[in-house]
Structure 1
Amino acid sequence: MRGAHTYAGPADTRSAGWHPAAEPPRATLDRAAVGVAAVRRREPWLATVQQVLDAIPGAAAFLAPVRDRSGRLADLVVAAVTPEAVSPGGRRGAQLVGTRAALYSPQTLASDRWPIYQHVLDSGEPATVGPFDHTGGRYSVRVHRLGDGLLMTWLRHDAPAPPDREASTELRLAEMERELAEHRRDLAAEHEMAVRLQHIILPIPEGPIELPGLRVAVRYLPAGQQSRVGGDWYHAAALPDGSVLLAVGDVAGHGTPAATFMAQLRHALRALAVTTTDPARLLGHLNRLTCDLERENPEISATAVIARYEPQRRVLTWAQAGHPPPVFSHAKRAAALERPPGPVLGVVEDARYVNATLELDFGDMLLFYTDGLIEDRQRSLDEGLQAVIATVDEAVAASSTHPLIQLFDRFRRPNPEDDTCILAIRPLTGLTRDLRRFATPQIVSGPTR
């Protein structure tokens, strides 16, 4: 979960590639800015990058890469920029954040400069593009890898900066690299601590597990950027009355804070299940807990879906809090379930959550997941959801008897930007199952690693 949301400089496009003075259409800028806001939530050190760029004279910018499914560079989006970068249309500094190369200068992606940017990202070797002529001036672009992105600076040759100013800029850039290297080491230590916390709580089961009347499978796909530790979690527990409590949740943010809050929610759910197993009431309790914690940490929020399955009746009762809709496969056709009302946890203190019910037939399959499965910069949420539905249909068509294996074989590609937790269930046939053997509560729950 990249943020708390419901599922609810001149440019020479002929020879220079991206330049901070380019003039993107307003619709393009607005759309891309949303992506950059998400990048900054995932990359706390970008605030440090911007602070350093604020103090640097001239035109420079830090660009975040967008990669395609094969890992190749597909786009560059401005994530931080110096105040002196100006577009021909008059936009300056922070107004340029969100500019995307692919939308206003697609020819750049097909030029001989694009492989240079790819090489700098992959090798870490700096490069210079140009000189080139543009709008009455002659420029060069220096490209350095900085963290996971590119730092670009633009130099004008026919109107050079004073020597002392250029030297000051170079020294400040070197200082930036030292500052950010130290900051990234701190983040690496935090990452290791968060990973240990997740492993301590409970691991992901290696294969499908059996609970009363259900076969349950869990898959965790870590973010493509391995430094990200998220707050995705799941819960699957057999209750004393023979029913099953299921949950999938997603905490906003990454690192130790997200992992810690994830652990608090999961343990709270287990404790609350002693008093009630009603999904809507459980979400209400978790929401009040989140609101209390949010007073201490304004960044806290989360989404979740909770369900209770009664195997004797094959009825599933579920409620959700700002979470993506479950995907239900019935008669070999999958569709997203209509969600009952319920806001994100931690936003409205007296929020009301509503239950919905679903009857499961033998052969049906139900998929719970976190938003990393459907979120992608290259497509909308609806497009991502339709892709998941198509994948479920393919899995069922390939093997109606073992669709869980087929399904998880197809869900191997991680989202490069976010963790993903998937929990899939199928009713057991019941012909050879004796539910009395589940009288002792069995709990399989834990965070995503």
Structure 2
Amino acid sequence: MAHNESFVSRRPRYAAGPVRRLQLLGPWLSRAPWVLVTAFLGLSIAATVAIAIWPDRVPWGIYGFIVVLSGLFLEPRLLLVVYIGLFLAMAILGAYLGELKPTTTGAQIVTVATMMLMLWLSHARAQVGVVGVSGESMLVDMRDRLRAQGELPPLPASWGAEVALESAYGDGFAGDFVVASRSTDGVTLEVALVDVSGKGREAGTRSLLLSGALGGLLGEMSEGGFLQSANNHLLRLRWNEGFATAVHVAVNLETGDFTIGYAGHPAAAQFAAGSGRWRMLSGGRGPLLGVIEQADYPRESGTIRRGDALVLYSDGVIEARDKALVDGIDRMLGRAESFIRTGFEGLAQRLCDQAAAGLGDDRAVVTIWRS
């Protein structure tokens, strides 16, 4: 049977349900912000009265709760109004209670420091036009969309494929991504593994933007024109220090014939069932994406016979600071040699888990095999 899976980081799934429901408050809050300001000022008055009546039971920390809560849902100028009211209430109450409520000065310093932090966070949210927790929800949507674009299409019964993606230090975003497509007649499978400059969250937004564009090009361009079109797209974006490496393979699912091209990306590895050995394809041709205009990207041809497999990977799988690149390649092939004794299923994830870079870099592996 066909085996077609995509693996991502094995961290627990993010429980987005409550956050998405809170996100619905955003439009209402933007239409009636002074209602919320009044509510927070009312909470401040209630806290002040409570401390005045029960000074030995109600702590100064209740003001800190209001500071954080209002900082999540108010834009900076409205938040400043609430904070001024809070500080005045705390100062007047501290002077009124005197010795009945000690540590007033220390509590005021901590509260003001928290106010400054929340004003900074509120300003950062205002720059992207989000309110409350909607910003975090947007990031979750972006992350999930990036991963969904890397899911492989259904394959015939005699074929299998897997994708494994791991971000640096377990971040939710990675600079490596995969896009895949199967032709309308079902004959051709195309897969592109792309490594955007940077790693982790710093490359996450560029990965999302680029994956959408390359996903649209995949299957619409000729096999030989995909990398050229991708290069032209990056040049038009004019990113500062923005470039990418890529490997693109197109496989005929009826004959097993494939063509593969590289844009500054490490060469793929192929397992030959006849010899029982792994070998590196020649690869290495073609410049980085987004650097040179009218670049040429030659392609290599081959065949995946029954029992054969093809492995695409990013540089995080073979590169390590204290080792030569050839050592990383030998290490990967050695791992792959030992893993295939139990079949190709799960090979992509195992190679990611035992990458030369460890957790310090993004890692991606795509395996395609024919049974």
**TM-score interval (norm. to shorter):** 0.5 to 0.7
How do 1:70-219 residues align onto structure 2 when only pairs under 5 Å count? 196-203=141-148, 210-212=154-156, 214-219=159-164
Contact kept, 8 Å, 2:176 with 2:364, in 1: the verdict is yes
Contact kept, 8 Å, 1:231 with 1:251, in 2: the verdict is yes
* 1:404 match: 345
Percentage of identical aligned residues? 25
* 2:286 match: 342
Q: What displacement does 1:365 show?
A: 1.0
* TM-score, reference length from structure 1: 0.48
Q: Does 1:277 align with 2:218?
A: no
How do 1:227-266 residues align onto structure 2 when only pairs under 5 Å count? 227=171, 229-241=173-185, 242-254=187-199, 258-266=203-211
Structure number with higher strand proportion: 1
Query: What do the CA deviations read for 1:150-192 (whole angstroms, capped 9, x no partner)?
Result: xxxxxxxxxxxxxxxxxxxxxxxxxxxx99xx99xx8xx9999
Residue-pair matches, total: 240
Q: Does 1:386 align with 2:327?
A: no
Q: What displacement does 1:202 show?
A: 3.5
Could you tell me which amino acid in structure 1 is paired with residue 242 of structure 2? I
5+ unaligned residues in a row in structure 2: which ranges? 1-115, 125-132
Q: What displacement does 1:404 show?
A: 2.7
How do 1:321-332 residues align onto structure 2 when only pairs under 5 Å count? 321-330=263-272, 331-332=275-276
Could you tell me which amino acid in structure 2 is paired with residue 404 of structure 1? E
Q: What displacement does 1:211 show?
A: 1.6
* TM-score, reference length from structure 2: 0.57
Alignment CA distance shift 1:293-1:424 (3 Å) = same
* 1:135 match: none
> Whole-Å Cα distance in 2 between the matches of residues 357 and 326 of structure 1?
12
> Whole-Å Cα distance in 2 between the matches of residues 303 and 337 of structure 1?
17
Contact kept, 8 Å, 1:237 with 1:244, in 2: the verdict is yes
Structure number with higher helix proportion: 2
Contact kept, 8 Å, 1:191 with 1:255, in 2: the verdict is no
> Whole-Å Cα distance in 2 between the matches of residues 347 and 393 of structure 1?
36
Contact kept, 8 Å, 1:250 with 1:302, in 2: the verdict is yes
* 1:446 match: none
Q: Extract structure 1 runs of 4+ deviating beyond 4 A.
A: 189-196
Query: What do the CA deviations read for 1:40-62 (whole angstroms, capped 9, x no partner)?
Result: xxxxxxxxxxxxxxxxxxxxxxx
Query: What do the CA deviations read for 1:313-359 (whole angstroms, capped 9, x no partner)?
Result: 21011111000111111132012110162000011011111111111
Contact kept, 8 Å, 2:190 with 2:219, in 1: the verdict is no
Alignment CA distance shift 1:277-1:269 (3 Å) = farther
> Whole-Å Cα distance in 2 between the matches of residues 265 and 289 of structure 1?
9
> Whole-Å Cα distance in 2 between the matches of residues 274 and 227 of structure 1?
30
Q: What displacement does 1:235 show?
A: 1.8
Could you tell me which amino acid in structure 2 is paired with residue 421 of structure 1? A
Alignment CA distance shift 1:228-1:243 (3 Å) = closer
Q: What displacement does 1:216 show?
A: 0.6
Alignment CA distance shift 1:423-1:352 (3 Å) = same
